[in-house]
A = this chain, B = another copy of it.
Amino acid sequence: MAEAGGDDGRCVRLSADRAQALLADVDTLLFDCDGVLWRGETAGPGAPEALTALRARGKRLGFVTNNSSKTREAYAEKLKRLGFGGPAGPGAGLEVFRTAYCAALYLRQRLEGGGVPAKAYVLGSQALAAELEAVGIASVGVGPEPLQGAGPGDWLAEPLEPGVGAVVVGFDPHFSYAKLTKAVRYLQQPGCLLVGTNMDNRLPLEGGSYIAGTGCLVRAVEMAAQRQAEIIGKPSRFIFDCVAKEFGLNPDRTVMVGDRLDTDILLGVTCGLKTILTLTGVSSLEDVKGNQQSDCSSRNKMVPDFYVDSIADLIPALED
C-alpha cells in the first residue's frame, strides 16, 4: 500500500499537492496529542514546525484528547513547553478539549434541574474533580479509599454520601475493590448516572511501554452494575459536539488528525469531518487495510480519507 490505500479511494497518501488542496477548504484542524504531537515528553520531529506553519496560515487548532488526568491549563502548558504555541494567560486552555472538561459540561447539562444538589462520586483524579467543581458539581471519592471491615456485610454498611447523582469514572490510580463496591452501591440508587471519560484500554508511555487505561476501570464498573456507561471521549461524538459548540465549527471545513483508527478516525467519520491518519502512533496501514477488507460495517467506517508518515508531511504544503 505505497501510494493509495484500498480500492475505495480512501486512505490516500497526503502529498504536498493534495494537502494544499485540502487545506484550502479547511478552517480548523483538530489534533489528538499523544502519538501525533508527542510521545511522553518528546515532541515528534517537525511536529511543532507543522503547527506553527498552520497557525501562520490562519488555521484554527484544537486539541482533543481522552486523557483525563490533567487540567486544561496543565495541558496547554505542555503544548507550549514542547513548542506547539497557543494562547497564553487566562485563556491558555481554550484550545484544549479533554474528556474531564467535556464530562463536566455533560454532567452539568444532565444534572441541572434535577432538584438535587449536583454531586458526583468520582473514580478519578483531582484534575477531573476540579473540572467538575468549575461547573458547580461537587465531588466525593477522589484519592485512596481503604477497604473497611472484614467482609461483604461491612463493605455494604459503609455510609454513602447523600445526593450523589452520578458516578464518573476517569483514570484513577487509586481504583480499588472498595471503590468499585461503593460505585455500584451509588448506581443502585434511582436515577444515578454512569459516565466514563473514555474507553481506552491502555495509556501508552515513552519507549513502547504502557499502563492500564481508563476503559479497564469503566468496564469493571459496567460489569458489576450491569449497566452501560455513557462515554464522553473519542470516538463518542459528545466530545466533538462540545468542541463544535465552543468553536462554532462547520464539520465540512474541519479536519481530525489522529493516530488511532478506533478513536480519532472513527470520531471524525462519525461527525462528518475530513480525517488524516498519522503513522507515528498506534494504528498502521495494515490495520487500515484490514478494516477496508472487512465484511463488518463497523470496521469499514474506521478508514481515514488520508494518511501521512508524520504531521511534518504537512510542512511542504504550507511553504510559499
Q: Which residues of A contact B (CB under 8 A)?
A: 144, 147, 152-153, 155-156, 172-178, 180-181, 184, 201-203, 205, 209, 211-213, 215-217, 219-221, 223-224, 226
Contacts and interface: CB of A to CB of B under 8 A. Distances in A.
A202 B221 CA distance: 11
Contacts of A178: 173
Contacts of A156: 205, 209, 211
Given A155-B211, A216-B223, 12 more contacts: A147-B173, A156-B205, A156-B209, A156-B211, A173-B177, A174-B177, A176-B177, A177-B212, A177-B217, A211-B224, A212-B224, A216-B224
A211 B223 contact: no
B173 A216 contact: no
Nearest to A151: B173
A144 B202 CA distance: 23
B172 A177 contact: yes
Contacts of A219: 216, 219-220, 223
A147 B145 CA distance: 12
A215 B205 contact: no
Contacts of A177: 172-176, 212, 217
Contacts of A172: 177
Nearest to A123: B177
A202 B216 contact: no
A173 to B, nearest CB: 5
A166 to B, nearest CB: 19
B147 A174 contact: yes
A216 to B, nearest CB: 4
B220 A212 contact: yes
Contacts of A144: 147
Given A201-B224, A217-B220, A211 B175 contact: no
Contacts of A202: 224, 226
A205 B154 CA distance: 12
25 contacts: A147-B173, A147-B174, A152-B203, A155-B173, A172-B177, A173-B177, A175-B176, A175-B177, A175-B180, A176-B176, A180-B212, A180-B216, A184-B212, A201-B223, A201-B224, A201-B226, A202-B224, A202-B226, A212-B223, A216-B220, A216-B221, A216-B224, A217-B220, A219-B219, A219-B223
A209 B221 CA distance: 16
A213 to B, nearest CB: 7
Contact of A211 (B181, B215, B216): B181
Nearest to A155: B211
Contacts of A180: 175, 212, 216
A226 B177 CA distance: 21
